[in-house]
Amino acid sequence: MTSAPLLETRALRRNFGALAAARDIDFRLEAGARHALIGPNGAGKTTFINLLTGVVRPTAGAILMNGRDITAVPEAARVKLGIARTFQINRLFRRLSVLENVYIAVAERVGAAPSMLRPAGRRRDVVEESMELLDTLKLSADAARCVSELPYGRQRLVEIAIALGLKPGVLLLDEPAAGVPSAESHIILDAVERLPREIAVLIIDHDMDLVFRFARRITVLVSGAVFATGTPREIGANPDVRAVYLGQVARG
């Protein structure tokens, strides 16, 4: 008996009016995976992440986690199941400190957030864990600063820190290095490479250096459909994929 993959989609489809942003996507993410999702702009990569996290409901098809159908599970409950994501454009708590940004996520995960009559700072466990997490991302020196004062590259790290505060089993990184000046992009690469082994990571990025360095498996999405899946070597050698990336009409 083969064990079910950690996360799986079966014939997942999403239409926006006449546009099919996801066409019958069959996808498997194994435990501990380092999987990249690439494709031209408008290929439906972010829609796919929105489908996996429950932000967008599929028109048809199913999403399974450890073999269990979670298609109808709402967004917040999927987080509790261990699916966390970062955003292509920063979604931070802009006027709060870096520590508070992570505190909010950790407090939510450990169930401290509904507590009303105790000061937030008294939850030492939450503060300790948040600081520890910031330290692993080399952000502890900035912990007291307002997050909007940080350079953009470090703000992108806070994006990742918030997601890691949820202790996910599956981490979906939506263009973690987007908008980061090339002088800073190595800090994102380093952070992505040092993510805990046990987390299954799905990364979307246009930076082929990052993708080929990081991923052990690559899925190419074109016009909402899976165009090719394979190891970085296979994908790199695939002439059709090259054609798509050169903007020519691919022949299959």
Where on the chain is the footprint of other proteins (CB under 8 A)?
Answer: 53, 55, 75-80, 84-85, 87, 91-100, 103-105, 107-109, 112-124, 126-128, 131-132, 135, 140, 143-144, 162, 165-166
Contacts of 222 (CB under 8 A, 6+ apart): 39, 40, 43, 244, 250
Please, which residue, 33 or 83, has the CB nearer to other proteins? Answer: 83
Residue 86 Cβ, how far from other proteins at the closest point, in Å? 9
Contacts of 156 (CB under 8 A, 6+ apart): 90, 176, 177, 178, 179, 180, 188
Please, which residue, 93 or 214, has the CB nearer to other proteins? Answer: 93
- The span from the first CA to the last CA of the chain, in angstroms, equals 34
- Cα(201)–Cα(48) distance, rounded to whole angstroms? 14
Please, which residue, 96 or 250, has the CB nearer to other proteins? Answer: 96
Please, which residue, 105 or 210, has the CB nearer to other proteins? Answer: 105
**What does DSSP assign to residue 97?**
B
Residue 154 Cβ, how far from other proteins at the closest point, in Å? 14
Please, which residue, 62 or 110, has the CB nearer to other proteins? Answer: 110
**What does DSSP assign to residue 27?**
E
Residue 45 Cβ, how far from other proteins at the closest point, in Å? 17
Tell the burial category of 120 from Cβ atoms under 10 Å away from its Cβ (0-12, 13-18, 19+): middle
String of DSSP letters for 122-159: G-HHHHHHHHHHHHHTT-GGGTTSBGGGS-HHHHHHHH
Residue 76 Cβ, how far from other proteins at the closest point, in Å? 5
Residue 23 Cβ, how far from other proteins at the closest point, in Å? 25
Residue 82 Cβ, how far from other proteins at the closest point, in Å? 10
Tokens coding 133: 């997490």
Please, which residue, 121 or 247, has the CB nearer to other proteins? Answer: 121
Determine the residue type at 48: F
